[in-house]
Chain A
């Protein structure tokens, strides 16, 4: 008995000891990150550098973000594990093909290994789309959009979901008599919204219709970063505000007098995010009033166009020393690159490598076959030069080499690692790392892609935690029309007595009559069956 107790105590104590995370142990053992993408693209590995694809890097284990910019932006967040190659395969063109629709101006595909963007779908005991018909107003289910402006959602029916915009006058449906329902919309991110019934409106926000689909269905939709766990799943249609230009001095008459809105800002783009697990595809749609737009994301194609694979690799040591010491060393096999300062020991998969060492204007290069139990290399650095031939598109682009502006053409440089940045107004800036070996003549062509008309609105979608509360508090109301709020909320769900006609239409009750007669017939049949027997 006592032994049992001791054993039990031992087990419990074992549970109480916090698990130790082995982070330091693998310091010396690098992991390998490969980015496989069509050539001509630049992978920006945040905190490490930018490289022309395909590229492989020997990196200390940890989390890395790979960003491939273009009109399709791909962002991959992966963790690199020691002694393992993490292979990121990206095909931006296939990503582009997977997203179809009209009005889409830019696409961003995100893969985040440590996040789950799918939201758990709530199965409510009520139907969020079933809202009372008749008067003005509908169901207001919470959604948390604070950027670019606070927005909320107002539901009038399955296909009549309106995205309301803070500090504006909106026309949300009609009442049963066909009169338009006009509201002054006030939204507090995290705090809900209120609609005040108004009349004599000088400007109402125009609507555009967004029809969002995906393959497969039932994926989580984020609209401008906001999400609602009751309703935002594909396929889904929305009415979204489409304000082509700023509108000034808008007035309406509300419950407590005239409401004046000094300015309603332009809002002609909406970000539609469709998520499935680690994947999130964000499309920015430019909308014009009274138009219908479609967004269709083929998540299966996205998943095949953007993959992450892990393979264990066997490594052998490569010891590099140099004279003078403390020179920078790059070991590369064309794809994989590893960096260090001499004297250094690299752990690399077996293969053929080129070792380039450089310090100031001295440099050396050596090829080595790495096999068996590893290799040792000694480099004597001597003065040498290399030539870099640059061609850029467009021709007026500015070229920066390690931050200094240089002329386009042939450049004579000392060998080493260079950071090349090419930028031009109206184009997406590209930067990449170039390694020049001694006596090398390297020619590089950089062509920039045009920037899409829409700038990044900085909408961030936070992946779902296991049990996030539906309502989170946001501090910033982001509301520039604070002063015009009245302090009473009015909501014109018409009281029962005011509407003479029942809103449930006549055709609804007809099937019910049929049902009742069906019941009567059944009862009659049973009665007859009982009577006629014997």
Chain B
């Protein structure tokens, strides 16, 4: 499984998609941050202003708006379709899946490597863009990330988004006949909540849970718990179920 993952992570096709996502997201995040003229109001002594400033700064950490989500979903769908369907289309799979490992293990390692790539392709440019804009206020950034507990929530945020996108795409990839169908299908499914304005599905539900957790709760631990709590069903349970179904399907379906 480890070898399989390593192999996927070094695959040139995957890496081209990875770079596409990385650069596009980085640019979008950056331009989003330059547009940023966030205002906040608070009254109280200077310490309150400082902590509110750090909190507001933490809330400006790049997240997935409509534009960003489009790129993100596209990258995720491309990665997963390439990994899970393309090799089957090109018959390379025959050799991979004939190794003495169970099918689901191969699929799982592919899904995991897709997650790693997508996670890196979003988190790294997010931090890069943030530092390229706000690199001159290290104290406040530190305060926001650690004192206000944004780091944990932010990592979880991306992990959840990645899990969702990869598991939706994986399920579609397992169900579809070829790479093209898989790509189209996953993009459609991933984009549907945005077009239909479904607030109860990701990305809206995760975004809202994050925002709510960090604006209504005071303590970092509470914030993380509230965040997870708010996005649990569609941000965590649903993707896990979908991924599980995808794995079970991979066992049923023939490799071809």
Contacts and interface: CB of A to CB of B under 8 A. Distances in A.
Direct A–B contact in complex, judged by CB atoms less than 8 Å apart = yes
Contact of A523 (B102, B218, B240): B240
A502 B219 contact: yes
A452 interface: no
B182 to A, nearest CB: 21
B248 A134 contact: no
Contact of A130 (B216, B221, B237): B216
Interface stretch (A10-18, A264-272, A491-499): A491-499
Interface in B220-256: 221-222, 225-226, 228-229, 232-233, 236-237, 240-241, 243-244, 247-248, 251
Contact of B216 (A132, A489, A523): A132
A126 to B, nearest CB: 6
Nearest to B215: A126
A132 B218 contact: yes
Given A511-B229, A530-B251, A518 B218 contact: no
A135 B229 CA distance: 23
B47 interface: yes
A502 B222 CA distance: 8
A130 B225 contact: no
Interface in A130-161: 130-132, 134
B156 to A, nearest CB: 13
Interface string A477-498: 0000000000001111101100
Contact of A525 (B41, B43, B225, B244): B244
A134 B218 contact: yes
B71 to A, nearest CB: 21
Nearest to B246: A526
B44 interface: yes
A489 B43 contact: yes
Interface residues of B, number: 36
Interface residues of A, number: 34
Contacts of A512: 225, 228-229, 232
Contacts of A455: none
A504 B217 contact: yes
A237 to B, nearest CB: 20
B44 A491 contact: yes
A491 B43 CA distance: 6
Nearest to B108: A530
Contacts of A534: 102, 251
B225 A504 contact: yes
B44 A493 contact: yes
Contacts of A504: 217, 219, 222, 225-226
A522 interface: yes
Nearest to B251: A533
18 contacts: A125-B208, A126-B215, A132-B216, A192-B41, A489-B43, A490-B44, A491-B48, A495-B48, A496-B218, A502-B222, A504-B217, A504-B226, A512-B225, A515-B229, A518-B237, A519-B240, A522-B237, A523-B240
Given A126-B211, A504-B219, 12 more contacts: A125-B208, A126-B215, A127-B212, A132-B216, A194-B43, A489-B44, A490-B44, A490-B45, A491-B43, A523-B244, A530-B247, A530-B248
